[in-house]
Amino acid sequence: MSIQYLAGDHRALPGSPQPYFLAAGEGEHAKLFADTFTVLLSGDETDGQFGMFTSRCAAGDVIPTHSHADTHETFYIVEGLVRLFVEMPDGQKVNRLLGQGDFGFVPAGAAHAYQVEKPALILGAATGGFERFFQQMGTPVASASNDGEPFVPPFPRMRAAAEAHNMRFIPDAQW
């Protein structure tokens, strides 16, 4: 996936399937709201199979309920506390508080939301291409720290990023 933002100095990944290494703090960083997302591996390096990213998140409100038509998503909690809300195939709504070392999986099509209850570092893996969502909606930053002001994208940018990644918001969901 080509994203104008990835041109020039922001591109840290090779862009094709080849071995590479990243030192701590390296990757492609984007600020979205109060959180910093770092792409470690993209669909470009895996022939579209999967991507990996970290999310350095501040505690705050529930991320709006949504689903991804084509994207499987994982949540591995490196540090902090994250409550993951998921609608099961039978329609039952469940939530689980995930702490350090805990893991959650959300298959494509499942409605879900999450809330960071204690500042967290999340390692995510998802279907290839989705890792670029955070960059498309956010803005590039130089490091993985959560320093600096939050970046609130304009609504048309949010809508365009969601549409590009087959993401559907479910505003009336109750957990």
Higher pLDDT pick, 10 / 37: 37
Cβ-based neighbour number of residue 52 at 10 Å = 19
Per-residue pLDDT band at 2 (split at 50, 70, 90): very low
Q: Does a structural domain hold residue 38?
A: yes
Q: Does residue 156 lie in a domain region?
A: no
At residue 103 the predicted structure's pLDDT band, cuts being 50, 70 and 90, is very high
Residue 121 has pLDDT above 80, yes or no: yes
**Is 74 contained in some domain?**
yes
98: number of Cβ within 10 Å: 21
- Count the domains in the chain: 1
Kindly tell me if the per-residue pLDDT of 66 is higher than 50. Answer: yes
Strand partners, 106: 73
Q: What pLDDT, on the 0 to 100 scale, is given for residue 10?
A: 61
Does residue 23 form part of some domain?
Answer: no
Model pLDDT, residue 152: 94
pLDDT at 1 (0 to 100): 36
d(C-alpha 29, C-alpha 54), whole Å? 9
DSSP, collapsed to helix, strand or coil, labels residue 111 as coil
Taking only the tens place, the pLDDT of each residue in 125-150 is 999 999 999 999 999 999 998 888 99
Please give the model's pTM, rounded to 2 decimal places: 0.91
Would you say residue 7 lies in a domain?
A: no
Q: Is residue 172 part of a domain?
A: no
pLDDT at 7: 46
Q: What is the pLDDT of residue 146?
A: 83
Is the predicted pLDDT of residue 32 greater than 70, yes or no? yes
Task: Report the pLDDT averaged over residues 24-28.
Answer: 96
Please return the burial class of 31, using the count of CB atoms within 10 Å of its CB with bins 0-12, 13-18 and 19+.
buried
Residue 72 in tokens: 């499987």
Q: Return the SS3 of 148.
A: coil
Contact, 139 vs 28, CB < 8 A? no
Residues 43-70, mean pLDDT to the nearest whole number: 96
Quote the domain boundaries for residue 104.
29-142
What's the CATH code of the domain at 79? 2.60.120.10
